[in-house]
Structure 1
Amino acid sequence: MAVDHIAGTMLAKSFRFSPLGYLTLSSVVALSLGGCAVGPNYKAPHPDLAAFHNSSLVGAAAEQAPASLDRWWEGFHDPELLRIERRVLTQNLDLAAAIGRIRQAHGAAEAAAAQMLPTLDFTPQASAYRLSNEGLIGRMAHNFPGYNRDQRAYDVHGVASWELDLFGGLRRGHEAARDEAQAAIAQSAGVRVSVAGDAADAYFQIRGYQARLRVAQDQVSTDQHLLDLVQQRRGRGVASQREVDQAQALLQSARETVPVLRVALEVQLNRLDVLMGVQPGTYAQELALASPLPTIPSIGNVTPADVLRRRPDVIASERRLAASNARIGQALADYYPKLSLSGALGFQSLSVNKMFTPAGFGPSASGALRWRIFDFGKIDAEVQQAKGAYAEQLAQYRSTVLHAAEDVENAFMALAQSEKRADDLGNEVASLTQARDLSSQSYKAGVIPLTDVLDANRQLLEAEDRQADNQSETARAAVRSFRAIGGGWEGATETTRLASR
């Protein structure tokens, strides 16, 4: 290769072109370009996780295909949610910052790779100066014929240098920087998963609060009607003041819930705008019209291998583990000598006309050996630090895997129980609806007073409020489940390939 030839030419001059010197040079260059790097070769850990014991609770139904994990929000079939997710994934500022971190990591990896290659500096220079007649040179030369105090000098040089990576320290450093860049890519995917999940979570809370506000306003109307009725009966002497006070308290209690729900709704609207990278209040009007919550898509059967392959935090932790392993080799390489080559080719002259002539040509070459033989245990300390960092990162990786499994189990259980509660609340609402209708019929027949009808209606509205809240929680539990298994980004196959290296 060209670099091998240049290095051989430069260093051969320092060996005075002896056969032994050139043979030694060839061996050195071969070691530098193809030798083995010191330090342990990395082997990715393989966590032995058993099957998730809650995965059967959310398994895909036979009649429903599971949602795509890359774009799980499409499985809700909600046009407003799709529009929100598109905005979030293109406008979110946390995601933009993560992309910036990727560029930094790529730059560090490229810089580490460049350290293994020669560098060439081109340094043309021109200078003009006047000699002092009182200086050493001026005192000696000012009486010489042709002496001129005004001088000009021209210098054109190219300087090359190269540290031969004999024992792989630079290669290990490049490996570490490359692995850290891959970890940054995985972290960016993690940000994408988070912001997509946060946007869906805020959206479903908005729809839930809107539904609960509608129920609360119906409750206020019902309690106001009840109070009017009791006051009329009080005026006729049929009801007591105690009944009026009770009806008044019920109305006040219903009214108190409205401001709380409005505040919670506003918080989520503002949160969603910030996630979309805009000032709070920008898109609130688009969501002013209430909409029913969508149906929950099926998740499908999930295995631990799926989670380890898709979870960005697990992938990033594994890549950082690989980087810390490479840092051990980088530290160990300091036990061995480092050989650097340098050379210069250039022209120097006091006249431009004689610059590029054989007389103005001045090449030079040198080789330097540096070996930290005695440093009071500094290399030992650096190696211990690198090994300690690897042990720490290994423990963090195992902890990340366990936390990922914990997230999956908790999310699946929450989703399964929310869906079960939805069935119970559906039955309760159906029963209370029937009881309210029967009360209305009985009132029309003159069997019961209107207060009983209003009380039945109030119980129904309370159940509907719990049902609306549970529908929102069920949708949020589904979002947490998709996040827990690493859904919400493309490129899992590529990252799996990187993680397996």
Structure 2
Amino acid sequence: MPCVLARTVRFSATLALALALSGCMVGPDYQPPDPQMAAGFRAGSGLAPASGPQIDLTSWWRGFGDPMLDKVVDQALAENLDLAQAVARVRQARAAVAIARAALLPSGALNGSAATAHQSVETPIGQIQNALGVDRDGNLYDLGAGASWDADIFGGLRRGQQAALADYQAADAGAAAARVAVVAEAADTYIQLRTLQARLAIVREQAGTQRQLLDLARLQYARGLLAEADLREAQSTCARIEAQVPPLESALETATNTLEVLMGAVPGSWHGALAAPSAIPAPPAIASAEGPASLLRRRPDIIIAERRLAAANARIGTAIAEYYPHFSLSALLGFSSTSAASLLGSGGAQAQAIAGVRWRLFDFGRVDAEVAAARGHYGEALAAYRLAVLQATADVENAFTSLAKSQAQAQLLRASEDSFGRRWQIVRTAEARGVVSRVEVLQSTGRLLQARDARVTAQSDAARAAVLSFRALGGGWQS
């Protein structure tokens, strides 16, 4: 038995060393693409210059200075179910890397069995045993340890490990992408909620003003001082403004429910905390000095595309490795006996060593097709990467443009509201002196509220454009 074991070990070690020394990796080595990027964002020049400390992109929402927004985002990061799914996918990809790494190592197994059998006399073998007087009852005991190893001479398994690692890194970036999306959607929905609250308050005030105008119109009509057509117009205007309330209330309820789902909470559980109206959060200034090149390491979707490209490149090597023979080593050491008492004796010992080869020698047409498919997948992944880079740059340019224009519009509408506010004060003073009527004061109030509603909408657009800008910049995730 020791001689058999020694020969087995020497044979396996010698062949393993020879195969390892001749090992290589077929297929192209991966070279990350180097896309041409502009020096800066064209639309960045239209943004307000950043003053004060730089905003930390990893927690950009805190730059809005709204404690409730901070609570909403923190809750979403902790409980959002889309994010939980993305994290679970990362765990799956990490396990796939471990599986690919294990394929490069020897595998072993310990097997044992004990069997007893009684042969039927209704079978040919049983009839022969019965005729010869052979005992038809038998036992068999086996105990053994086996090991096997696929010698990765041409690197097919190692290319597979590279592909699995790139897939894991893509999944990790996917979790970061989900995080960026969840934070941006939560912040955007929160801003919409505050906007709807502000607009609902304005519309209700407008409706109240219009009802006062309608009451005055009815009084004037009853006194014969107003034509019926003017009365009907006042009624129509009042009804039109009041009709804006139900859709805004519905939209507010929908936004609150949507925000709660993003936070992983049962709809209704945060209604009380969010019911009190609050100002639309003012966005911080955004610095754009790093330029488009920073997107390559910050945007998760670009990282995902680049890692998928690396995985596709590695799988070309996996396919090319099928042109070459695959060698394997296996060994068995164990005991087998019909008696449990003699199982571990020298007579029951057995050993085996096998060197195997598998070569798809007459299947090169299929291998050609597999290699061509792998190269085609790589070409698709390369185009997807280039598109991701272009789209990322366009996203930032569009977001910066929207932010700059929304801020400019909000400034103009704020000036308009201020002018209407001053006019309203003048009219109120004139009414106190008996120079103008109550009707003119209410009309001035209505125009002021219209200007305020337009300013609130523009202010909301600017805040949401800032959220879109932070999202387009990658939200601070670094590769």
Give the 3 Å change call, closer, same or farther, for CA 258–8 of structure 1 in structure 2: farther
Tell whether 2:214 aligns with 1:227. Answer: yes
- Residue 9 (structure 1) shift: 6.2
- Residue 111 (structure 1) shift: 1.2
Normalising by the residue count of structure 2, what TM-score does the alignment of the two structures yield?
0.95
| Residues 375-408 of structure 1: CA deviation (Å, up to 9, x unaligned) | 1600000000000000000000000111101110
Instruction: Note the 1:443-458 alignment, pairs <5 A.
Output: 443-458=431-446
Of the three residues 58, 66, 89, the one matched with 2:47 is 58
1:470 maps to a residue whose letter is A
SS of the residue corresponding to residue 208 of structure 1 reads: helix
Equivalent pairs counted in the alignment come to 473
- Residue 67 (structure 1) shift: 1.6
| Residues 418-465 of structure 1: CA deviation (Å, up to 9, x unaligned) | 111111011101100011111122222232222222111111000000
Of the three residues 226, 229, 252, the one matched with 1:265 is 252
CA distance in 2, matches of 1:428, 1:8: 96
1:57 maps to a residue whose letter is G
CA distance in 2, matches of 1:8, 1:395: 56
Gaps of 5+ in 1: 1-6, 15-21, 496-501
Contact 1:196-1:488 at 8 Å conserved across structures? no
Tell whether 2:21 aligns with 1:30. Answer: yes
1:308 maps to a residue whose letter is L
Instruction: Note the 1:8-407 alignment, pairs <5 A.
Output: 10=8, 12-13=10-11, 26-31=17-22, 35-50=23-38, 51-58=40-47, 60-61=49-50, 63-133=51-121, 138=126, 142=130, 147-301=134-288, 302-375=290-363, 377-407=365-395
2:47 maps to a residue whose letter is V
Contact 1:11-1:366 at 8 Å conserved across structures? no
CA RMSD, Structure 1 to Structure 2 (Å): 1.9
2:209 maps to a residue whose letter is T
1:363 maps to a residue whose letter is A
- Residue 12 (structure 1) shift: 4.5
SS of the residue corresponding to residue 58 of structure 2 reads: coil
| Residues 254-295 of structure 1: CA deviation (Å, up to 9, x unaligned) | 101111211111111111011111222221121110001222
- Residue 114 (structure 1) shift: 1.2
Gaps of 5+ in 2: none
CA distance in 2, matches of 1:141, 1:194: 76
| Residues 7-48 of structure 1: CA deviation (Å, up to 9, x unaligned) | 99647448xxxxxxx8665321333xxx32100000111111
SS of the residue corresponding to residue 432 of structure 1 reads: helix
Normalising by the residue count of structure 1, what TM-score does the alignment of the two structures yield?
0.90
- Residue 355 (structure 1) shift: 1.0
Contact 2:191-2:281 at 8 Å conserved across structures? no
CA distance in 1, matches of 2:29, 2:415: 61
Contact 1:57-1:416 at 8 Å conserved across structures? yes
Greater CA drift, 128-137 or 209-218 = 128-137
Contact 2:329-2:355 at 8 Å conserved across structures? yes
| Residues 317-348 of structure 1: CA deviation (Å, up to 9, x unaligned) | 10000000000000000011110111110001
- Residue 163 (structure 1) shift: 0.8
CA distance in 2, matches of 1:408, 1:127: 71
Contact 1:38-1:333 at 8 Å conserved across structures? yes
1:254 maps to a residue whose letter is I
1:29 maps to a residue whose letter is A
SS of the residue corresponding to residue 405 of structure 1 reads: helix
Runs of 4 or more off by more than 6 Å in structure 1? none
CA distance in 2, matches of 1:419, 1:136: 96
CA distance in 1, matches of 2:244, 2:275: 19
Contact 2:8-2:351 at 8 Å conserved across structures? no
SS of the residue corresponding to residue 173 of structure 1 reads: helix
CA distance in 1, matches of 2:283, 2:417: 20
- Residue 158 (structure 1) shift: 1.2
Give the 3 Å change call, closer, same or farther, for CA 10–172 of structure 1 in structure 2: farther
SS of the residue corresponding to residue 285 of structure 2 reads: coil
**Correspondence for 1:17:** none
Contact 1:11-1:25 at 8 Å conserved across structures? no
CA distance in 1, matches of 2:8, 2:413: 85
**Correspondence for 2:399:** 411
Contact 1:66-1:297 at 8 Å conserved across structures? no
CA distance in 2, matches of 1:8, 1:327: 39
SS of the residue corresponding to residue 161 of structure 1 reads: strand
2:379 maps to a residue whose letter is A
Contact 1:60-1:66 at 8 Å conserved across structures? no
